[in-house]
Structure 1
Amino acid sequence: MIEKEEIMERLLIAVPSYTNRYERYIQANYELGEERLIYVDISDFVKHVIECYQRKNTDEFDALFEVIEELHTNGDSFVKEFATVGILESLQNQLLDENIEYIEFEKCLRPESKRWWNHVIDYWNGKTPYIGGPIKEQS
């Protein structure tokens, strides 16, 4: 079972091009020993991923999306929720900000991650009362 403390380590193994930037990010945003706020931190990671896409440097994407799938399928409840709300929702929001079509990243998603990607879209489109919730009946 994957736990919260393992998330960034797994992402850094999958996307080693982020390592130096992550170290600078941590130094700029945290005091030594201070608790890290992973829901805030993931935004910079996602920004890096999008910048890689924009530079057509996607050689780490296969490993990245495999890790996201593993977080969804093998994570504890916090990790599973983080994979959806932390990573996928942040990715969708930043793609919108950059005017990049979702399909560019959807094609990289594995089955469980794709399912949760769609749940996020359904929620924001008002089709469901919460992420992963039932589709609302049309009146």
Structure 2
Amino acid sequence: MKNLLVNLRIIKNTLIILENLINKEYICLLESETDIKKLNLITEEKHFYLKKFIYLKKKQSSLEEKYNISPPYLKFFKMNNYWNWIFKKSLFLNKINLKNKILLNQKFYLNQRFLNILKSHRENLTFGISEI
């Protein structure tokens, strides 16, 4: 049982780190001139902690099978508190991450659209000059 409690504590710490990274990503995306290298580093670090989170969840499920218990751990006060916190934080992080994805798509879609308009504008100028 102690292993499961330790695992839940590590999951909680991992989610706190993920929250900080997602907030950094959001702030970086809100800037008028987004630093792509900084955004890339944040994204790589976020992927690392997401993989760690997935590994810990698998470990949690194997420990649950071993001890023959399941969430929300109503009989165990500490584990129940950790589980409730993890569940709420996961939902919250999912919402923030969705906002980041929308913001990222809007920002780079608009930039790409602007480049396409600029390219077509240049082509129109070129063709207009050659016709004269």
Class of the TM-score when normalised by the shorter of the 2 chains:
0.3 to 0.5
Work out which structure has the larger RCO, using CA pairs closer than 8 Å and 6 or more positions apart in sequence.
2
Structure with greater helix percent: 2
Q: TM-score, normalised by structure 2?
A: 0.34
> Larger C-alpha radius of gyration, 1 or 2?
2
